[in-house]
Amino acid sequence: MLGEDHSLLHEFPEYQAVIAQLTKSDATFTKDAKQYNALDKEIRELELNGAPIDDEAMHQLKHDRAQLKDSLYQRLSSQ
């Protein structure tokens, strides 16, 4: 579905406390979480505006978001 919210807190509400704790204590997690949420926002805005970029560029953005999501999830689930 176009324009869906895939922000970190929306994707992993069960890890809200862990996200808050890691955001305060882990600079790398914080940087990656910010990058993930920025990518999600960019993708959502592009989708809602009719994706004014080519398919390959959109695919790359979604791929980058998925990789960050996987990495962040691994860190969340190991806490």
DSSP 8-class letter at 53: S
Whole-prediction pTM value?
0.86
- Mind listing the pLDDT tens digit for each residue in 6-63? 889 999 999 999 999 999 999 999 999 999 999 999 999 888 887 678 889 999 999 9
- Tell me the two tokens of residue 20: 């808050």
The residue segments making up the domain with residue 52 are 8-77
The answer to whether residue 57 sits within a structural domain is: yes
The answer as to whether 1 is a domain residue is no
Residue 2 lies in a domain: no
Flag whether 3 is in a domain: no
35 falls within a domain: yes
Residue 19 falls inside a structural domain:
yes
- What domain count does the chain have? 1
Residues 53-75 as b or e (16 or more Cβ within 10 Å = b)? eeeeeeeebeeebeebbeebeeb
